[in-house]
Amino acid sequence: MCQLLGMNCNVPTDICFSFTGFQARGGVTDVHRDGWGIAFFEGRGVRVFLDPQPSCESPVAELVRHYPIRSLNVIAHIRKATQGAVGLENTHPFMRELWGRYWIFAHNGNLEDYLPELDGSFLPVGQTDSELAFCHLLQTLRLRFPAGSPDRLALREALEEFAAQVRPHGPFNFMLSNGDCLFVHRSTELHYIVRQAPFTVAHLKDQDVAVDFSELTTPEDRVALIATLPLTDNETWTPLPVDRVAMFAEGSYQPA
């Protein structure tokens, strides 16, 4: 299985600290060596970095780890290939346009006998079940909301229904964002933490690195982090509800 990392904030924030621990899971502290990627929303634009090399050996990952890109929504993925060859076209996260906005999607799981009918509006470039599911999802949303983008609650309801249709085919942990908020669906493992005042010291589980966030933040800052497995060993991470779509907005967990 792959590893997922997401961040949603109320002010633009860099993910360098969390990515330092996450990067190690791509071949040092875990076996996920089949590529990695990360996407940063900046206004209506998106910076996407992809590399089919293991993140622990990737010069691109080193660039990202030391590049304090500030974003309200970030999605990252470390791949353990189950379907599709190791290659750039099969590296998450995937990006498509819908309703005049970029959408970013990453998936952890393995969907078997999943053969949705696509109408050609969105087509996969690679061979992964993940990109196929993303194309099917966007097609479903486009047909359900022909007048344009719905509000967040209607969108979450549609994602809940879509996830329920896909789950019988296998684990369907995913992250999805259009830069407005972050949607997360847990099938097997996904945990989250919300960092807000009073900020304290956090220590990574995968690297001997610590940061005192009280020195880097203001009392109004709020940052939600979501990861397959907790990234720190001195903070309390909460498992997300199974088989539900969670929404994170303005750095807060928005339960259904």
* Omega before 198 within 30 of 0, i.e. cis: yes
- Per annotation, catalytic residue among 2, 9, 56, 135: 2
Which phi and psi angles does 210 have, rounded to 5°?
-135, 150
Look up 56 and say whether it is catalytic: no
Mention every residue, 6+ apart, whose C-beta is less than 8 A from residue 208: none
Widest CA span in the chain = 52
Strands across the sheet containing 238-239: 45-51, 36-42, 71-78, 3-13, 222-227, 191-196, 238-239
Of 111, 108, 130, 109, the closest CA to residue 168 belongs to: 111
CA of residue 43 relative to chain centroid, distance = 18
* Collapsed DSSP state (helix, strand, coil) of residue 253: strand
Of 17, 10, 141, 26, the closest CA to residue 73 belongs to: 10
Write the DSSP symbol of residue 251: T
CA of residue 89 relative to chain centroid, distance = 18
Looking at the annotation, which residues are catalytic? 2
